[in-house]
Structure 1
Amino acid sequence: MEYEVIIPAAGKGKRMGADRNKLLLTIDGKPVIIHTLQVFEEDPLCKGIILAVSPDDRKVLEGLLAEYSIHKVVAMAEGGKERQQSVYHALLHATASIVMVHDGARPFIQQAAIHELAEQAFQTGAAIAGVPVKDTMKVIREGTVAHTIDRSSLWSIQTPQAFRLSLLLKANQEAVKNGFNGTDDASLLEQIGEKVQVVEADYDNIKLTTKEDLFFAEAILKKRKSGC
C-alpha cells in the first residue's frame, strides 16, 4: 500500500541539551534526520516525504537533502509552535490516500513495520506502532507509591502512525476547533471516537530525546552493522 509520510523536523533539542535542532546532530558521522529520511527514501511504497521545518533550519536541511541524495521530499511546510501544528501544516500538502506521521528522531524503524502500518490504515483507517511495556508501572503521588498498574494491557507507543488522509484531516480540524492538544496524532482520532489499531514494532525504534539516547543509537547501529 503506497503512502506519504510527514516528518516534523522543527524542534529545538532542549531536552537533548543541544545548541541546535537535535535532528542535525550526528550519529555514525551522519545527521539524525538523514538516517530517518533514508529509511523512507529507500522504501518503494513511500511516494513522498513532507517535512515541517523551522525557517532557521530550512537552508541547512535543503543542503543536506542535496548532499545525501534525498529526492522524495515533495514539500517543506512551516513548523508551528507545537508539534501538532507542524503536522497540520504539513498535512495540507498531502495527496496520498494513506499518510503516516513519523518522528524525525526515530531513525531505526523497520520497513516491515511500516508496510504493516500502511496496510492496517488502509483496511481500518488508523494504525500506530508500539511495543508492550517491560517495566513495572506504578502510580506515584507526592513521592510515594499509590498503586501498581497491571502492565499486561499497557503498550509504549511509537511512530510511525498511519491514517487515511481524510480521517487525519478531520481529526486535526476538530482539534483546532475544540482547542484540543493531543499527546500524539492518534489521540486526535480517539477524541472524535475513531478506533486505532496497534502494530507491534520493536524496541530498537527509540526516539532520540536525551544525550544518553545518542549512545544507545550508536549501539543499535553497531548491532545492525554486525548483522545481529
Structure 2
Amino acid sequence: MGKVNALIVAGGKGKRMNSDKSKQFLNIHGKPLIHRTLEKFSMCCDIDEIYLVLPEDEVTYFEENILKKYKFDKPIIIVKGGKERQDSVYNGLISMEDCEVVLIHDGARPLVSDDIIKDGIRYAYLYGGAAPGVKVKDTIKVIDESGFSKATLNRKELVAIQTPQCFKYSIILEGHNYIRKNKILVTDDTAALELIGHKVFIYEGSYENIKITTKEDLRIAELIINRV
C-alpha cells in the first residue's frame, strides 16, 4: 500500500484581520495558527507525510519561526504555491511519490479533530472521495442582482463542506489534470472530482472545525481551545 499524506494549503493573507502578518502565522492561545493545524495531522498515527503549500515569499519565515522552533512527529515537506488555490493544490499533488490517499486541508482550520481525519481516510479508501460537512442552520436564500430574494433553498438538502477533503491520490490527480486542461476554476477539490463524473461521500464534520477568516473567528477558536 502507498502512503497516506496530508496536503495543507496555507496561502491566506491577513487583510480581513487588519494585520500585516499572514493569518496562518497569527497566534491562537499562544501558538501560531499554522502550527496548530500541522500538529493535528502530525499527531495522527495514520498520516505518513505532511506537505505544506506556502507562498514563495513566506517559506523562509515559516522555516525560521515555525519549523525550527517546534518539533513535529511527521516530516514536513514545503511546496511553493501557485496563483490560485487549485494551482497550489496541484503543485502539492505532483510533489508526492508513492501516495495512495491524500487529505487536502485548509491551513486556517486548526481545530480539526483526529476523528474527522481518520474518518476521512477510511471513507477515501471506500469511496475514492470524501469530505466532512455540517448541516446548514440558517435559511438560505437565492438573491437577484438587485439584492431581492428570488428563491428559498430546502435547508434539509444543504450541507456546509469543510476540510480535510480526502481522496484516492490517482482520482484527485485526474480531477486536477482535467480542470487544468480545460481552464476551469473550482472553489474546492470535491468539485474537481464531480467534473470527471465521480461522486463524493459527505460524512459528519463538526461545527467546531471552523475556518479562521476574521478576528471574530480567532476569538471563537480561543474559546473552543480554552473549553477543551
Which band: TM-score by shorter chain?
Answer: over 0.9
* Corresponding residue to 2:121 among 118, 123, 126: 118
Aligned to 1:129: 132
**8 Å contact kept, 1:43–1:111:** yes
Distance 1:135 1:48, change over 3 A: same
- The Cα of 1:71 is off from its aligned counterpart by 4.6
- The Cα of 1:20 is off from its aligned counterpart by 2.0
Kindly report the root-mean-square deviation, in angstroms, between the aligned alpha carbons of the 2 structures: 1.4
Asked if 1:143 is matched to 2:147, the reply is yes
- The Cα of 1:138 is off from its aligned counterpart by 1.2
Once the two structures are overlaid, the 10-residue window that deviates more, 193-202 or 143-152, is: 143-152
* Structure 1 unmatched runs, 5+: none
CA distance in 2, matches of 1:60, 1:20: 11
Asked if 1:109 is matched to 2:112, the reply is yes
- The Cα of 1:147 is off from its aligned counterpart by 2.2
Cα deviation, 1:129-168, whole Å, max 9, x if unaligned, reads 1101111111122122212111001000000000000001
Asked if 1:209 is matched to 2:213, the reply is yes
**8 Å contact kept, 1:171–1:192:** yes
Provide the aligned length of Structure 1 versus Structure 2. 224
Q: TM-score, normalised by structure 2?
A: 0.94
**8 Å contact kept, 1:51–1:73:** no
Aligned to 1:68: 70
Aligned to 2:51: 50
Cα deviation, 1:158-202, whole Å, max 9, x if unaligned, reads 000000000011111111000011110000111111110011111
CA distance in 2, matches of 1:36, 1:128: 17
* Structure 2 unmatched runs, 5+: none
CA distance in 2, matches of 1:38, 1:198: 24
Once the two structures are overlaid, the 10-residue window that deviates more, 140-149 or 104-113, is: 140-149
Aligned to 1:37: 38
* Corresponding residue to 1:219 among 220, 223, 228: 223
